[in-house]
Structure 1
Amino acid sequence: MENPFSQPGITFGNAKTDGVERRGWFVGHFVNAANLRSTEILEVKWGIHAAGDSRSEWSVNQVATTLSILIKGRFRLQFPEQECLLAEEGDYVIWSAGVPHTWIAELASTVVTVRYPSLEGDSIEKAE
């Protein structure tokens, strides 16, 4: 539903609400709204994770670079050659296309993730 307070060139909303249908992703090529959230430039996710939530299978983007920023909590990302613990508000990790990752929320966590560009079919699961 389009926000009645939005004007041309301005989109206003709530990341948690707008991302419900796509596991927290609320900006990207997949948005079926006629506003600024529908873009191929980038994707943005508001991730709310309970303690113990995880993605155990490896996932990789073929083209997109990814940036994850910890808002609150404790969130661990595992890469084939390195592990990164986001423990302080503002901790972040950026990884390039072709780098597989998994993750676990060690504490209840909120993480903002940005991928660029936003391309259909770019994110795939990878057997490691």
Structure 2
Amino acid sequence: MIFSEAEAGPALADPNGDLLDGVPVVSPLAWNLSYRFPVHHISADFQPHAPDPEPTHLVVYRTRQERIAFLKINAVTQRLLVLLREQSHRSGRDLLNSIALELQHPRPAQLIEAGRSLLDDLRERQILLGTRRQ
């Protein structure tokens, strides 16, 4: 079994920061994972024999209350979480604009508005800690 000694205390981020115009901080207690099988459904009664056509994307995270949680996410959310870790100096708005360009989205402003709600939800779940302190 693997244990993480990482902490997600308030010193790491401003919990009330603007996730669009600030730089969102991903909790060190959140892991963005992708699988070929729906691992979150596997049980004694469900043993898939072939991979799904699309990957299963999950975030596994530990809350401040020491509870382990799982969140099934889509490919766009998965991409956003990858970018948040790889390009940890860019604002949420910049990263969402990058995703809109990658997707060739016809209305980037619409994607950014949906992204605002997504970022807020990720913060509420404690996957995002807030924004980088200045």
**Same structural fold, with TM-score higher than 0.5 when normalized by the shorter chain:** no
- Of Structure 1 and Structure 2, the greater strand share is in 1
TM-score (norm 1): 0.23
Larger radius of gyration: 2
- Of Structure 1 and Structure 2, the greater helix share is in 2
Higher relative CO (Cα under 8 Å, sequence separation at least 6) belongs to 2
